[in-house]
Chain A
Amino acid sequence: MNGRPRVAEDVWEGTNLLGVLREHMDLPGSKNACEQGECGSCSVYLDGRLVCACLVLAGQAQGRDIRTVEGLASAGVLHPVQEAFLEAGAVQCGFCTPGLVVATHDLLTRTPQPTTMEIREALAGNICRCTGYAKIIDAVHLAASRMRP
């Protein structure tokens, strides 16, 4: 879990990974909204792949490498994606932000300089009901320019 082994106890077999993160591991960054993979608010990495934590059965995550939004910043310093979201004003209520930050991180890992169309495709599984997305797309472009090697 974010680079170190963690043990969760007394997890009911029908619990999803999101429940384990939030209720058993004190990692409430991943948000619980739709619980059906529609909104992307619980986006995390499972073995390096972007997934919805609500659709992973707890037992399926056992022994796997999980990285959550809490694992992106290091030593109190925000990740450039997080900085860009702040700076571009891509956050209003903030509920969707952790999922969008992880999904953007995944996009920029695979496609360091995405076009606007590629950003829209990559973030199609993350729903925001406040911003209208324009500033989110600005933030992704900004993060991409900051992270340019």
Chain B
Amino acid sequence: MDFLQPATWTEALAMKAAHPDALPIAGGTDVMVEINFDRQRPPAFLDLTRIAELSGWGLDDGMLRVGAGVTYARLIGELGDRLPGLAMASRTVGSPQIRNRGTVGGNLGSASPAGDAHPPLLASRAIVELASTAGTRRLPAHEFFLGPKRNAMRKDELIRAFLVEPAQGPQQFSKVGTRNAMVIAVCSFALALEPERRRVGTGIGSAAPTPVTAPEAERFIEGVLGEHDMWQKPAPVAESALVRFGELVAAAARPIDDVRGTAAYRRHALAVMARRSFVWAWNEYRGAV
């Protein structure tokens, strides 16, 4: 095995072009498990931890552009106020040791259906920035995930950053697991309210071959809020509408039975999480208007 350690982003792209089978590694919280258990023997590692460009973040045309190497611990500490949904999800990742190393870039690279960062990225319509020596392209998060642990990256590409608007309104994240730490989601749900655009964003984790959104549920609840002019005059949403929203979120999932839970349980839990998350976010919005 080779160990490639680029010092700059330009060098990293050149190395990836020359060694397309090199396995990128950042925090190692996914990759090293594969290596330690002999599940993968890549011809080379491409260590991304020395590249300063990947560990920064800033504003890019009104969006936050966050380097792929920013850890969960830093997201929570530095961006928790602007990306509350993603920060809530980040707090549920592993343990302090894992959050000190793990990155959203790595979560995207692994593309696990259970990745904790994915539902909030979907709910707030994030964009993934990929790069190669041939150039840069930006993909909406919902087009990035192709299947279980499969994403839209070409072999010569690396994840440079993700772009997401600072929260436009209240955001929520819920996750079901057997304890409060070190848990792979049984299922998870993220919600983002965008009052200016009269939009509601959703993201579902660990209940389909990829992280997915629930567009029918979004249109339904947007319709309920619009019909009664509730963005202007916020009032409690009828229980029947909340239940329907939960049902539509559950219907958007395509869960399976596995060691962590059954498909039926996941659908049920998603409906509950969706309803609760919406009420929490909506109450926060009502309190702020």
A-side residues, CB < 8 A to B, are: 12-14, 16, 35-38, 40, 43, 49-52, 54-57, 59-60, 103, 106, 121-122, 124-126
Contact = CB atoms under 8 A, between A and B. Distances in A.
Nearest to B100: A49
B98 interface: yes
B258 interface: no
A40 B97 CA distance: 8
Contacts of A59: 3, 5, 45, 47
Interface stretch (B26-34, B54-62, B116-124, B190-198): B26-34
Interface residues on B, range: 20 to 34
A16 B96 contact: no
Contact of A55 (B2, B28, B41): B28
Nearest to B38: A14
A103 B36 CA distance: 23
7 contacts: A14-B1, A14-B41, A36-B32, A36-B33, A50-B96, A55-B98, A59-B47
Interface of B: 1-3, 5, 25, 27-29, 31-33, 35-37, 41, 45, 47, 49, 73, 94-98, 100-101, 180-182
A38 B179 CA distance: 13
Contacts of B35: 14, 16, 57
Contact of A36 (B1, B37, B41): B37
A121 B33 CA distance: 23
A124 B28 CA distance: 19
Contact of B100 (A35, A36, A50): A50
A125 B28 contact: no
A59 B45 CA distance: 10
B3 A13 contact: yes
Nearest to B36: A35
A130 to B, nearest CB: 18
